[in-house]
Amino acid sequence: MDVSERAVKVAVIGGGCAAMAAAWELSRPEHAGRYEVTVFQEGWRLGGKGASGRGANGRIEEHGLHIWLGFYDNAFRMLRECHAELEALGDGDLFGDWRDAFVPENDIALLSAAEHGGFERWDAHLPPRPGLPGDPLDPGEVFSLRYYMAGAFDLLRALVLDTTVDGRGLADDRWAQGDLKGLVDYLARLGRFATAAAYQSVYQHAHGAPQRLREFTCALPEHLEKSPTAHVAHPGCFATAMLLASVPLLKLGLVAPTLFVSGITGSTGSGRKPVEGTHHPLRHGDLYAYNALAHRHAPEVTACALAASGVEADFAFVPHSGPFARGIHVTVQGALRSVRDSVQVLEMLREFYADSPFVHVTDTPPRVKNVATSNYAHLSAVADGRTVAVMCVLDNLTKGAAGGAVQWMNRLFDLPETSGLLAPAPGWT
């Protein structure tokens, strides 16, 4: 079976109302079996705090009085659809109308122990809204899914930012209340070494300035129009090539989120310390892989791709040392979600990078010699209906490092983005 056609296995832990609503949605016929759902629940009774049934000696067993507030809209909708199916099958009288199971109530009271004995009563009035529970909601309404998601991100943001590291608070009021997009973008970027511990787990040494991590945003200028922070960290050379090739595939939903990457770098991309791999007599006329499936920049690529595309992908990356000094050649392969040919994919890449002055999409496979020492990146792609391969070449020291940083500097200082970066590659001159 093609990778893109395999059922996604989903484990639902607990059989509460929200959990069953999620399982119901994922099991819809229109998904054509895309999800294989398993619900794990102790005992046989489903429904969580909405569960009831007969126990020993036929006694009714319940969890007590059940109050369903507005955030159970999906569960209400599921119940209504279940009853509608039963009625369509002629079994509607067996369970009755769904409205028979609920009593509308707009006033509730809660009691809590008082400081000096007795109880305190807390009254709440919940005004009714038009329609019935489970009716479709406009995304802009207060009790819509968007509203609750924004609230959840607000809570998560408070958890992350209202903590302290070494006695120093991380609170940041950069986003307006309920700014869902800003919160999503920020939380996605948390994956790239947002803490000193995350950095140390990848690079095996302590971060040099952990107190400044929150002051930086990491992204390619082609993938982020404006930095939300005053400082920017540009991804590394391999990361730049991989991101330029993979982010369009992920963001446009063209591929399954497992990508296979083969990359070749010149000797000038071999790190700060001289080693055998940077010694040209050893590299000349040779080609070999290193750190296969264990390159330390793979977590950076995963996090930056998530921030740029909204998709968390798995990158199976095999880097190689090439017999040349400048340049990187990367090939990214993935399984297409739908049938597409090379012409279609190339057109989508051109449209994606239409406003990126340093990214050129070519009909033929790109060559390192065409971009070496310049700030340009060349991409091309082929597709056979099931699989797509995107090739990217760039100069590891310019576009993959200093040149990309200058692009960001130009933007931050309101200069033309191309200032000082338009020199062509001299390889063919």
Beta-strand relationship, 328-335 and 387-394: antiparallel
Nearest-angstrom CA–CA distance, 339 and 341: 7
CA-CA-CA-CA dihedral for 146, 152, 154, 157, to nearest 10: -130
**All residues at 6 or more sequence positions from 3 whose CB lies less than 8 Å from its CB, including other chains:** 256, 258, 335
CA 217 to chain centre: 16
Nearest-angstrom CA–CA distance, 222 and 404: 10
The per-residue DSSP string of 144-204 comes to: SHHHHHHHHHHHHHHHHHTSEETTEE-----S-TT-HHHHHHHHHHTTTT-SHHHHHHHHS
Tell me which of 218, 237, 304, 392 is the catalytic residue: 237
Count other Cβ atoms within 10 Å, centred on residue 240: 27
**Is the dihedral angle over the CA atoms 44, 16, 82, 28 positive or is it negative?**
negative
What count of Cα atoms within 13 Å lies in the side-chain half-sphere of residue 356? 25
Six-digit token string for 141: 């309404």
Strands (E) across 336-386 are located at 359-361, 377-383
Residue 326 burial class via C-beta count within 10 angstroms: exposed 0-12, middle 13-18, buried 19 and up:
buried
The per-residue DSSP string of 274-305 comes to: --GGG-HHHHTT--EE-STT--TTHHHHHHHH
The total number of residues shown for the chain amounts to 429
82 is catalytic: no
**Active-site residue list:** 237
